[in-house]
Amino acid sequence: MKNDKARPLLLTAFSAAAFFCVVAGSAFAHSRVDGGSHAGLNIPQISHGEMAVISDYRGRIIDLASRAVETNEPFRRVLNYAEIQYSYCLWGRMPGSVTDEASPFNECAHAYLAATKAVLLSMREMPREAATAGEIISAVDADMVRRGLALITCRFSGEAFNTADIVKPRWGGIPFHAASMASLTGLASLFGLGVFALRRFSRPKAQSSE
């Protein structure tokens, strides 16, 4: 019985350990993918203050861009980059990834939000999307002024990006960022408990002897 009760804890610990082994294995990797040719399209930088507002409108921007019909290749490449970067940044779910300069996910958040901003500005020139894009831009500008974010910068605010250069989270910085560490530890624990529950309920019941 004691061994049975200990199994959930052991499984959770093992899952968490395995998770962080993967993270540790990536700790020595650069934040950007090595060997980037920079042969892609350049994406202008985004300020720290702009990020907070663009992040709030990201869903509307990407939805509008995804429904656009009269597009060109550069537009589609930047849109694709914005979505790829978003997934690399764990879909913006990490606490502080947008607002906290010290977050290991802040630079990759700069990348996908800079691309999102570039997509929005490009849609000003599209006949069908121009009006809606203009409304979003006006709302973003108003929010920037209302929240006093126009002059807020950080160490990544002057950094431009390129569609050929994927920006990864700084995995090695996670143990030193409390919010990220707590979030990933909780995720690993939930994963472990989920695996345990799945195995427990899928295990065939022992037949009683006559």
Q: What is the pLDDT of residue 16?
A: 46
Give the pLDDT of residue 196: 57
Q: What is the mean pLDDT of residues 78-106?
A: 91
Output the CA torsion sign for 79, 83, 84, 89.
positive
pLDDT at 161 over 90: yes
More confident residue, 28 or 53: 53
Please give the backbone phi and psi of residue 43, each rounded to the nearest 5 degrees, phi first. Answer: -125, 120
Predicted confidence at residue 209, as pLDDT, reads 47
Please count the CA atoms within 13 angstroms of the CA of 197 that sit on its side-chain side.
6
| 141-157 average pLDDT score | 78
The pLDDT of residue 109 is 94
**Is the pLDDT confidence value at 11 over 80?**
no
Name the average pLDDT for the chain.
Answer: 78
For residue 18, which amino acid is it? A
For residue range 167-182, list pLDDT tens digits in order.
999 888 888 776 666 6
- Reported as a single tens digit per residue, the pLDDT across 33-47 is 444 445 799 999 898
Q: Tell whether the model's pLDDT for residue 50 goes beyond 50.
A: yes
Spell out the residues 6+ positions from residue 169 whose beta carbon is closer than 8 angstroms to its own.
Answer: 31, 88, 89, 90, 94, 104, 105, 107, 108
% of the chain beyond a pLDDT of 70: 64
18 has a pLDDT exceeding 80: no
